[in-house]
């Protein structure tokens, strides 16, 4: 038995969500996130990939039905594909800033409802869990400032869900802060994947305090893990 807040000697981390974790197709011969996570975890630990490239928030329910019986930790990175589905709003006409904000608010409400339902399903497993923010796009991209600003309305939903449900939060916006962390504007490179894997391993090994949200966002937290 593991006492709350103390590290486990073994465990089984399951990755849920989309291509942020299922990034093998984008890194060529370099290691993908699940491979890197298995390297970061200590002996006796396992990691399983249930995340699937292209999946959206509603697909996490299907992934949860596939959980291994011995799963001990869940980490979810999803919502980016849902956000892409709203990309056309950036081209919508708006009479003034207030009108534009009202359009964004309606989109945020829609996203928040879906994300909260997904996060509740994850939390209902009773397993120590974490969700990930949607990271920005490479800063050298032509639409970087627009995308970063638009994603803020979705990331607000993610952070609110994490804090309201008492599950942990891995902030990929701060972890993947260099252009080399991206294989393309959407998926992580092997370098970015290494940062993500170390953050996940840190979350899993630091012990779990029920109802408390731990935030992992600082690169210095990853050193030596």
Domain limits, the chain: 11-222
Of 83, 86, 57, 63, which Cα lies nearest the Cα of 135?
83
Could you read off the pLDDT of 154-189 as tens digits, one per residue? 999 999 999 999 999 999 999 999 999 999 989 999
Contact between 8 and 208 under an 8 Å Cβ cutoff? The reply is no
**What whole-number distance in Å separates Cα of residue 41 and Cα of residue 156?**
30
Q: Sign of torsion, CA 36 156 117 79?
A: negative
β-pairing, 129-132 vs 73-77, is parallel
The pLDDT of residue 62? 98
83 against 86, higher pLDDT = 83
The pLDDT of residue 124? 96
Q: Give Cβ neighbours of residue 28 (< 8 Å, ≥ 6 apart).
A: none
* Residue 225 pLDDT grade (very low, low, confident, very high; cuts 50, 70, 90): very low
CA 72 vs. chain centroid, Å, equals 18
Give the global pTM.
0.90
Greatest Cα pair distance, the chain, in angstroms, is 60
Mean pLDDT, all residues of the chain:
90
Can you say whether residue 5 is alpha, beta or left, with left for phi > 0 and alpha for psi between -120 and 50 degrees? left
CATH 3.40.50.1110 matches 11-222: yes
Share of the chain above pLDDT 90, in %: 71
Q: Give Cβ neighbours of residue 189 (< 8 Å, ≥ 6 apart).
A: 26, 27, 30, 180, 181, 182, 183
**What whole-number distance in Å separates Cα of residue 32 and Cα of residue 196?**
10
Task: Name the burial class of residue 53, with classes exposed (0-12), middle (13-18) and buried (19+) by CB atoms within 10 angstroms of its CB.
Answer: middle
**What whole-number distance in Å separates Cα of residue 210 and Cα of residue 130?**
12
């Amino acid at each position: 038995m593991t006492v709350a807040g103390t590290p486990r000697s073994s465990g089984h981390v399951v990755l849920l969500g989309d291509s942020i974790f299922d990034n093998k197709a984008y890194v060529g011969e370099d290691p993908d996130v699940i491979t890197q996570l298995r390297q970061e975890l200590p002996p006796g630990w396992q990691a399983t990939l249930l995340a699937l490239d292209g999946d959206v928030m509603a697909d996490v329910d299907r992934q949860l039905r596939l959980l291994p019986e011995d799963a001990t930790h869940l980490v979810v990175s999803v919502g980016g594909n849902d956000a892409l589905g709203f990309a056309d709003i950036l081209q919508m006409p708006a009479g003034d800033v207030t009108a534009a904000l009202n359009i964004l608010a309606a989109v945020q409400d829609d996203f928040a409802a879906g994300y909260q339902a997904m996060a509740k399903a994850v939390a209902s497993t009773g397993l120590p869990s974490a969700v990930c923010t949607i990271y920005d796009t490479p800063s050298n991209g032509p639409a970087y400032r627009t995308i970063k600003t638009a994603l803020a309305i979705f990331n607000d939903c993610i952070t609110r869900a994490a804090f309201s449900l008492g599950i942990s939060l891995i902030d990929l916006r701060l972890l993947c802060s260099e252009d080399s962390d991206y294989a393309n504007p959407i998926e992580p490179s092997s370098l970015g994947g290494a940062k993500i894997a170390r953050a996940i391993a840190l979350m899993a090994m630091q012990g779990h305090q029920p109802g408390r949200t731990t935030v992992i966002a600082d690169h210095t937290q990853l050193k030596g893990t």
